[in-house]
A and B are shown apart, each in its own frame.
Chain A
Amino acid sequence: MTRSKMRFVAGACAAALLMSGTISSIASAAAYSADATSRLEFTGVQAGAAFKSLFHQFTAAVDFDPAALASARIEVTIDMNSVDSGDKDRDGTMRGADIFDVAHFPTAHYVTRSVTRTATGFSAVGALTLHGVTKDVPIEFKFIPGAAGATLTGTADLKRLDFGVGRGDWKNTDWVADAVNVAFSLNLKPKT
């Protein structure tokens, strides 16, 4: 490596360090994590009737300042094994190879790329990785600052088959709808 190249690399590294430092210092002003009372659930339709399922285990890291949306970031990691639809047989089936296949895809991940303000709150576009498939999923949410943190509530609509959730017979959408609604209510505490 030539001297000038080395200098360039060193300069770039310093710039990157500086930038990441700047970003994290902006973010840390409004960096939160979701506490244990937060909820993440989805509603599917099975045989014409809606059913709700919770994910008991998930983590959410939120960098959000309504005045600095450019640096806003919501990142959620879900333990797919923690799915709970209120029936252990259905939960077992969902964990199985034909639906969530938790043995191969134990976690799902969502991270926003851009956040914009809407008439009623905010909307974001982010990448959802579910069942090993990554696709963009928009979310709509409200952010309400509180005394000791904030609450972030919202919804998303997705199609399960976009993510290959449902193989073989479970591809059938007459008895298990393709459309799934996701709802979340995050109780955010400042990161320490």
Chain B
Amino acid sequence: MPTQATRYSALAQIFHWVIAGLIVVQFTLARLAEPLPLGIHKLALLARHKSVGMTILMLAVLRLLWRLRHSAPQLPSGMTRFERIAARGTHIAFYVLLFAMPLTGWMMSSAKNYSVSWFGLFTWPNLIGKNETAFDFLRATHDTLSYVLFAVAVLHILAALKHHFWDKDDVLVRMLPFTRGARRS
């Protein structure tokens, strides 16, 4: 049964912050790897990028399953219709991107005929066959989506800060561990 709470549960917070942290790692690894020539350093960085990406994909599956069985705490009553739509849209975009980013990355690797290993422990199957044209398209898509993700994340962070400092409601605090989320509006 869906439950309605005033705060995000511990599990929801873990999903949120672990995935957020891993996304920062992903951007960092990608930025470090990008300018390098094909060599051992690029290989190592991209291998980690792929392993972390597959971790995010697995967490995204669990998180989506969890989310389908639980509802998020209600939004503060003072929000306008536009703000509610923007909040809803941002969160849907995040869920879509949590799948689209790793899947396009995984397909990119498959198209380039580089199988994806998960931290050297096991190898994921190739999603599609070797195809240079598909690779170029997927790479462009993965790149573009990364900018979209960055933009959505900036919007998300600014909105959370706006709620906290401008509206002075509990929207930010209820996702923060070690707080009680006492303030309501």
Contact = CB atoms under 8 A, between A and B. Distances in A.
B5 to A, nearest CB: 41
Contacts of B130: 86-87
Interface in A131-173: 169-170, 172
Given A85-B113, A87-B114, A47 B44 contact: yes
Contacts of A170: 39-40
Contacts of B114: 46-47, 49, 51, 87, 90
B121 A93 contact: no
A88 B115 CA distance: 15
A27 to B, nearest CB: 40
Contact of A48 (B39, B40, B112, B120): B120
A49 B113 CA distance: 11
B123 A49 contact: yes
Place the interface of chain A in its size category. Answer: 20 to 34
Contacts of A26: none
B30 to A, nearest CB: 15
Interface string B33-70: 00000111101101100100000000000000000000
Contacts, number: 54
Contacts of B123: 48-50
A50 B122 CA distance: 10
Contacts of B118: 48
B115 A175 contact: no
A176 interface: yes
Q: Which of B41, B115, B119 is the most central at the interface, judged by chain A CB atoms within 10 Å of its CB? A: B115
A175 B38 contact: no
Contact of A51 (B40, B115, B121): B115
Nearest to A52: B113
Nearest to B132: A88
Counting from the closest, the 9 A-B pairs by CB-CB distance are A48-B117, A48-B120, A47-B47, A86-B113, A49-B115, A169-B40, A49-B117, A49-B123, A86-B130
Interface of B: 38-41, 43-44, 46-47, 50, 112-121, 123, 130, 132
Interface of A: 46-51, 85-90, 92-93, 169-170, 172, 174-176
24 contacts: A46-B43, A47-B44, A47-B47, A47-B114, A47-B120, A48-B117, A48-B118, A48-B119, A48-B121, A48-B123, A49-B123, A50-B115, A50-B123, A86-B113, A87-B112, A89-B38, A92-B38, A93-B38, A93-B39, A169-B40, A170-B39, A175-B43, A175-B47, A176-B43
